[in-house]
Structures are given as structure tokens and as C-alpha cells.
Amino acid sequence: MFAKIKQIELEQFSILCILGVFGYLDKSFMYFYVFGFLLFVYVYKKYSKYKFTDNKPRYTPKIIVFFFFYYVSILLNPIIVAQSMLQAVGQLYIVIKNFAIFPNVNNHKGIEYCLPFVGTWNVAAGGIEITSSHSWFIVSQRYAYDFYILDKDMKSHKDSHKSLDNYYCYNQKIVAPADGTVIKVKNNVNDSKWIKFGLPDFFTTDFRGNFVVIKHSDNEYSMIAHFKKNSIVVKKGDIVKTGQLIGLCGNSGLSREPHIHFQIQNSPNFFFSVGLPVKFKNYKIINDREASDYIKADDIVQNLTE
């Protein structure tokens, strides 16, 4: 327990600044905005090792300040504020409901999934440990993965990074990771036009962008997000088979460059669910590393499903 607490890092408390919104009800909540300054630490750490668009370090002071104000400005988008608050409330609810005990690789024996794309992709983020996790403290996304495609030079695009079409994973086929029934689809969110700055859409109408939720069993649902606008070819109620095309990779929602977000959750509701560890099947890890049942960030993974 103590070891776990030690792994909580300072900048994670920046999330508390959201509580400052309640300052409209009671002024004392305004003090929570002070936690917003920890976003500096968060942004610094995140972007100093960031390599989504190219392999250059991103810790020049100019860029740090730019991203800080960018993230502050995104908090002015009322939909994002509402969704962030809903997520905070939802997470608090499930922490209480589950007595803070969540599924993990030892106690969860669920369905095995195929990778949700065709061919070979890179794991941009995700893993089963606190250090590799997509977002350990957002319990619904604890075992989520971000996938994109890199070339040999670790670049995610050819030529200029300013055009969506230059990104290797943009427009690539996204497929059902297991048999199931489609229960939710959102297909009308714009792809970010801010790609030339490597930024998501400030004005997005959903931080997930376009997404699909598929029910695989009573307590396992896959959620895939950031599809290209109007590319999703399935609709609510459709029965899908493993490997069936569901849409194309895009850059919608809070996405800095084309990628997909993939997670397995225990209920249909994104905001009120618990994330489940994902055991994949029919795949190969291309990079050289010790064998493991679970994939993690920096892995290169090939889908072998026919």
C-alpha cells in the first residue's frame, strides 16, 4: 500500500483544480484552482519524453508555456469541462462502490481479444503496471491502450506532419476485437484541424471523438475511440464478428495526432465503468523483449487474425 502511495506523483493532484468550478457555489472551492499550477509539472513531464509526431524532445520553455495555456484553454470548452467532471464523479462513484478494489491481471479472467486493427501497429501508451499504464488513476482507463503506426525512424508520418493524410495510421482499418453486439456509436465529431500544431480540437464536442462500444458479454465491453469522422460502418444493434471492419482510424476528440484509444470496460457507460486488463490473442510482439501475456507501451504488435 505504502509503495503504491509513493508512486503517486505530484502533478496528479492537478486534477483537483477541477473542483475549483464549484467556487460558483461556495467561494472556498476557488482555492482548488491553485492545483492548476501543477499542470506545469504534468505538461513538462509529459512533453519532455513525448515522441508522437517525431522523435525530437519537446521541452523548450516556449513549448511548455504554449501547452500549459493550451490545456487551460481546453478547460474553457464547456463540453470538455462537463465530461471531465462526469468522469471525476463517475470514478469517485466506482471507487466507493468497489471499496477501491479493482480487477487486475490476477483476479480477472476474462475474454481474450484480438488486436483491433489490421497489420502491424505500435503501442503508444498502455500497460498493466502503474508505470506503464495509459492512466492508472482514471480507473476506467487504467488498462486502456493507444495505438498508432511508426516507421523505422520512429516517425508516425511521412513528409510533413501538417497533413492528416501523411500519418501512417490515419484511414487504416479498425476491426472488431471479438464477437459482440454494437451498443453505441458516435460518428459526427470533426477530426482535429490543428494537426499542424500537433494539437487536438479545442472545440471538440466529445473528448472521445467518434467511438464505438461493443458488448462482448454481460460485463465486458470494448470501447474504441478517435475514429475518422463519418467512417464508422456499423450501427447500434449490429452483430459483429472478430476482425470485421467497424471504421477507420482518425484524429477526432482530444487527439493530438491520429491514433486509436482501445479499452475494455465492465459496463456500457464510459464514465461509470471499471477498466479491465486485456489479454490479447492471435498476435505477435515484433520487438525484442522478454515474453509476457500482456502488451505494453513501445511494443510493436502484429495482428495475426485472418
From residue 73, alpha-carbon distances to 5, 23, 220 in Å are 31, 18, 35
Q: How far apart are CA 89 and CA 129, in angstroms?
A: 24
Q: Least distance in Å: CB of 229 to Zn ion?
A: 18
Helix or strand or coil: residue 183? Answer: strand
- Those residues whose C-beta lies under 8 Å from the C-beta of residue 274, and which sit 6 or more positions away, are 94, 98, 102, 103, 139, 140, 265, 266, 267
Q: Least distance in Å: CB of 133 to Zn ion?
A: 11
**Residue number with the smallest Cβ distance to Zn ion:** 261
Q: Using CB under 5 A, which of the segments 16-24, 28-36, 86-94, 142-150 binds Zn ion? A: 142-150
Q: Does 220 bind Zn ion (CB under 5 A)?
A: no
Q: Does 261 bind Zn ion (CB under 5 A)?
A: yes
Evaluate whether 259 touches 226 at the Cβ level (below 8 Å): yes
Judged by CB under 5 A, the residue of 11, 146, 201, 299 near Zn ion is: 146
The residue among 29 and 70 lying less far from Zn ion, judged by its C-beta, is: 70
Q: What distance, in Å, lies between the first and last C-alpha atoms of the chain?
A: 43
- Those residues whose C-beta lies under 8 Å from the C-beta of residue 220, and which sit 6 or more positions away, are 110, 111, 264, 266, 276
Q: Does 257 bind Zn ion (CB under 5 A)?
A: no
The residue among 148 and 168 lying less far from Zn ion, judged by its C-beta, is: 148
Q: How far apart are CA 246 and CA 295, in angstroms?
A: 23
Q: Least distance in Å: CB of 90 to Zn ion?
A: 17
The residue among 146 and 201 lying less far from Zn ion, judged by its C-beta, is: 146
| Binding to Zn ion, residues 54-113 (CB under 5 A) | none
The residue among 200 and 243 lying less far from Zn ion, judged by its C-beta, is: 200
Q: Which residues bind Zn ion (CB under 5 A)?
A: 146, 261
